[in-house]
Every structure is written in structure tokens, then in C-alpha cells.
Amino acid sequence: MRFFRNKRLFIFLIGFILLVVLVGYTFKDRIKVTFAEEFINDAIGWVQYVIHTPVNFTTDVFTNIKDFRNTYEENQVLKEQLSQYRSLIYEVQEVNKENEELRDVLDLMESDSIRSHEAIQAIVIARSPERWLEQVTINKGKNHGVKANMLVMTADGMIGKVQSANEHTARVKLLTGFDQFNRISAMVSRDKGRNIFGMIEGFDEETNSLLFRIIEESEQDIAEDDLVVSSGMGGVFPAGVPIGTVKEVTSDQYGLTQIALVEPSSDMYDINHVIVLDRAVDQVDESSEADDGEEEDNEE
């Protein structure tokens, strides 16, 4: 029994020594290898290839799925950021546009032509889609000095008149909503010769033009790009406020009078900041002095 144990130990030691020798021999740098080593190496390589190929395929599939998911999430984040960026650009453009309009209005308020009148700055707060080209509502009313028939304009020119005034708001009749019953006296101002007078009394939606009916004959003809302004006749509206420029001159259906198609100076589709003009300051002062004189006479 002891002999067999010693024999097993001896065989184990011999085997271990041979294993160490073989390991050392195989790790030794050699140009040629034995047939057995070639066979074993090829067999191990083939087994590794068979196992490694599906493992790599499965790993690549899961990696690609993860990459697709990450790409999708990044794409969603980028889309949201792009949407926010576009909204920010739009807001900046709107702010810049509003600032530009306010600067134009302030410059106009400081001009000599406006200083001679009672000017009230207002903002459009309502506009009915059904009557988009007929009227707007502003945020100033009787408490601010707004009265019916006052002229309303933007920094570019006239847009209409106050149709009715409430305590805190007012309704503005646009030039594009004028007709034969709502007209305004206008003229083509000439540096040389007589001015050409007429009436703004309608709007042609097909040509997007105001209708300027000429009410008197003139030695000079109206030409394209002539500036049409308020005439001031009637004592209600101030004179010289731009209305538009002449695009074309035609005749009415009876061929008796000339009608000029006038492109409005102001954008009637986009109105935000406006100025309401009262009578000239000197006229107000004169009327006030007259009222004071009447009161003194009454007291005497």
C-alpha cells in the first residue's frame, strides 16, 4: 500500500517535471514547431474562431442597438434645442421689430410737425378677423383725451380716424374701410403749380390700393409715385400727414372723374403702435382764450 503511494507520488513528480520541461520548451523562441503543436494550435484556433464569431456578432448587435438608442435620444434633445433656438430667434426678431417701431414713433413724436398737435400714443389691443381691414381697437380712450374723428397714424403715415371713444379704449376706422360715407380730404402736394385735391373714399382689395377720387381739374397730371397727404380742409384733420403714393391713375365707370390707386404708406395688415392726433396746439389755445373771454363777458 505504501509502495503504491510512493509510486503515485513518483509518477506525479515525473509528470510535473515533464510538464515544466514541455512548457519551457514551447515558450522558447523557435522557428519550427512540432506536428503535435501545430495540430493543437490549429484546433484551439478553430475552436476559438467558432466561439468568438457568434459572440462578436451578438455583442455588435447589442452595441448597435445601444448606439441607435443613444442617437435617437440625442436627436430628440437636439430637436428640442433647435425648436427653442428658433423660438428665441423669433422672439428676438419681434422685440427688435417692436423696438424699431417704438423708436420711429418717438422720433415722430419729437418732430416739429407733431409737436404742434396734441399727440396721444396708443397700442392696438384688438382686431376682429371678420373686419381685419376695417377697424382696430386701441388702449386709449376719453380719459386720455381721445375723441371721435381724431386722426390716427403710425410712424409711416395715416391709418384712419377714431370712430368712437370709450372711457379707456377707442375704436379706429381704418382707411381701408372707408367708403363714400366715410371719406377724408386729401391732396397731391406740388412744389410748383396748384395742389391737386381729392377724397380718399374706398379701398380696392384686388389691387390692395386706396381709392383717391380727384374732385377738380388741374393743369398738371398725377404721376406715379406722387405722394398723397391729408389736405387739412374741414378743420378736423391736420394737413400734410402722409397717406400713400400713387400707383396708377384710371377713370371711374362713367369716365367723368379720375381715380388714383394709392398704395398706403402704413402696413394696414400689421398695426401695433399708433399716434392719435388732436387739433393743433395753437388752435386749442385760441379756442380756450375765446372760451375764457366769453366767460368774462358773462360774468360782467
Q: How far is CA 283 from CA 10, 109, 280, in A?
A: 135, 19, 5
Q: Is the dihedral of CA 205, 210, 216, 221 positive or negative?
A: negative
Q: What pLDDT, on the 0 to 100 scale, is given for residue 85? A: 79
Distance CA 69, CA 180 (A): 68
Q: What is the rounded average pLDDT of the residues 58-69? A: 80
Q: What is the rounded average pLDDT of the residues 195-209? A: 89
Q: Which of 58-67, 92-101, 174-183 is most confident?
A: 174-183
How many C-beta neighbours within 10 Å does residue 263 have?
16
Among 236, 163, 175, 230, CA closest to 202: 175
Phi (first) and psi of residue 217, to 5 degrees: -80, 150
Q: Which residue has the higher pLDDT, 61 or 230?
A: 230
Q: Specify the pTM.
A: 0.59
Joined grid coordinates for residue 181: 360715407
Predicted confidence (pLDDT) per residue in 130-157, tens digit:
888 889 999 999 999 999 989 898 988 8
Q: What pLDDT, on the 0 to 100 scale, is given for residue 33? A: 60
Q: Is the dihedral of CA 199, 201, 203, 207 positive or negative?
A: negative
End-to-end CA distance of the chain: 158
Q: What is the greatest pairwise CA distance in the chain?
A: 159
Give the start-end residues of each E strand in 134-267.
Answer: 135-138, 151-153, 158-165, 170-174, 184-188, 196-204, 209-214, 227-230, 242-251, 258-264
**pLDDT band at residue 110 using 50, 70 and 90 as cut-offs:** low
Per-residue pLDDT for 291 more than 50? Answer: no
Q: What is the rounded average pLDDT of the residues 236-255? A: 83
170: Cα separation from own chain's centroid? 26
Joined grid coordinates for residue 4: 503504491
Per-residue pLDDT for 158 more than 80? Answer: yes
Scan for cell 434633445, then name that residue: 77
